């Protein structure tokens, strides 16, 4: 290198290299605020690289250790593994671009050291990132299975005890024991349906079909009416468009809207009113569920879609229905929105693209 060794060049232009790395990261499609990334990964790597170049040694344990810490930090901050790799690649590009602009040639030996250090850093950062991700997936799966098993056990226990009381013949099916049995069986059905929908979303085994909205709403109405009656809630349905359709996986979409209805019945006051409305506006179809829960709690409404988040005094259930519903609707190119009606209730809206003419045909309900 003319006039300076590579380690001297890096030390003299450290701030500019970091700035260019930041710009490159911000220019990518998956860009997101990355202040923490540039407080750890790039500056630390540059310091360690300069030290190795100065001492003319190979890649060091320090680089491997700091890269592993960086991979851990990137995972914790919500970055992707691609961003981890690109981040280190940006360092190489920034150094070589700046050297060309300053007419500084990088020696073969220095370039070989730079590549060896980058290779070590990327390998260790990605390894730690993958390890942390695998641990989280495993922990999430174990936690979810444990909670699911707990909920299944509770519902089965309630159903079994209710059946034993009814089988004595001392009480009628129309009494309190019969109501407990009905709620337990309904809860088991909902739990299985939601688990099946989540499995299809996770495994990417979806079957998009053309679903006429009016027929879809009619299918939901029967079971929903029974749930509303069991909760002592009035239920009305309005479909403003008899001709529109959407393209989605019928089971996943049905599970999503059914879950919204079940939440509406669950959280509405006794004697309250739940409304299911379907309409089409331009190229969108909207399915709305309005309840009388008394209004949303203070804070960000999107917190309702976090796993294991529950609202109201009724703490039954897993708190997974809304997150699964959102993922299901998003998998069909739509979104779920929530609007507060202060002091009265709220409205959940499933917003989906309106289906265009095509080869898909309606699938018979499962």
Percentage of the chain modeled with pLDDT above 70: 74
**Ranges of CATH 3.30.565.10 domains, the chain:** 206-353
pTM greater than 0.75 (yes/no): no
- Write the CATH number of the domain with boundaries 6-138: 1.10.490
pLDDT, tens digit, for every residue of 31-78?
A: 555 544 445 677 888 888 888 888 877 667 778 888 888 888 887 777
Average pLDDT, the chain: 76
**Ranges of CATH 1.10.490 domains, the chain:** 6-138
CATH fold group of domain 206-353: Heat Shock Protein 90 (3.30.565)
- CB-CB contact of 286 with 349 (8 Å): yes
pLDDT, tens digit, for every residue of 291-314?
A: 998 888 777 666 676 654 455 444
Long-range contacts of 25-32 (CB under 8 A, 24+ apart): 25/83, 25/86, 25/87, 25/90, 28/83, 28/86, 30/80, 30/82, 30/83, 32/78, 32/79
The pLDDT of 260-283, averaged and rounded, is: 88
Nearest CA among 74, 81, 72, 82 for reference residue 28: 82
Q: Is the pLDDT score of 149 beyond 50?
A: yes
């Amino acid at each position: 290198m003319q006039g300076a060794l590579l380690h001297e060049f890096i030390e003299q232009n450290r701030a500019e290299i970091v700035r260019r790395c930041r710009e490159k990261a911000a220019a990518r499609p998956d860009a997101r605020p990355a202040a923490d990334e540039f407080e750890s990964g790039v500056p630390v790597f540059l310091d360690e690289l300069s030290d190795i170049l100065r001492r003319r040694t190979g890649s060091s344990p320090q680089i491997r250790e700091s890269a592993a810490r960086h991979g851990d930090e990137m995972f914790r901050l919500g970055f992707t593994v691609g961003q981890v790799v690109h981040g280190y690649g940006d360092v190489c590009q920034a150094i070589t671009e700046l050297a060309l602009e300053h007419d500084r040639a990088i020696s073969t030996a220095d370039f070989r050291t730079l590549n060896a250090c980058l290779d070590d850093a990327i390998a260790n950062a990605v390894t730690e990132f993958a390890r942390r991700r695998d641990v989280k997936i495993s922990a999430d799966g174990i936690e979810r299975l444990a909670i699911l098993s707990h909920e299944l056990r509770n519902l089965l226990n309630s159903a079994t005890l209710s059946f034993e009381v009814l089988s004595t013949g001392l009480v009628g099916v129309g009494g309190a024991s019969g109501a407990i049995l009905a709620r337990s069986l309904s809860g088991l059905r909902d739990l299985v349906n939601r688990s099946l929908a989540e499995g299809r979303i996770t495994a990417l085994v979806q079957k998009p079909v053309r679903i006429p909205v009016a027929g879809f709403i009619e299918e939901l109405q029967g079971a929903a009416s029974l749930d509303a009656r069991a909760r002592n809630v009035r239920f009305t349905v309005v479909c403003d468009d008899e001709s529109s359709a959407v393209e989605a996986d019928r089971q996943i979409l049905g599970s999503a809207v059914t879950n919204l209805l079940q939440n509406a019945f669950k959280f509405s006051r006794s004697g309250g009113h739940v409304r299911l409305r379907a309409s089409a506006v331009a190229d969108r179809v909207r399915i709305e569920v309005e309840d009388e829960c008394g209004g949303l709690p203070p804070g960000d409404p999107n917190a309702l879609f976090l796993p294991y988040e529950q609202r109201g005094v009724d703490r039954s259930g897993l708190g997974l229905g809304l997150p699964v519903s959102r993922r299901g609707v998003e998998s069909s190119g739509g979104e779920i929105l929530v609007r507060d009606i202060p002091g009265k209730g709220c409205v959940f809206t499933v917003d989906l693209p309106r289906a265009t003419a095509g080869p898909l045909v309606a699938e018979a309900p499962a």
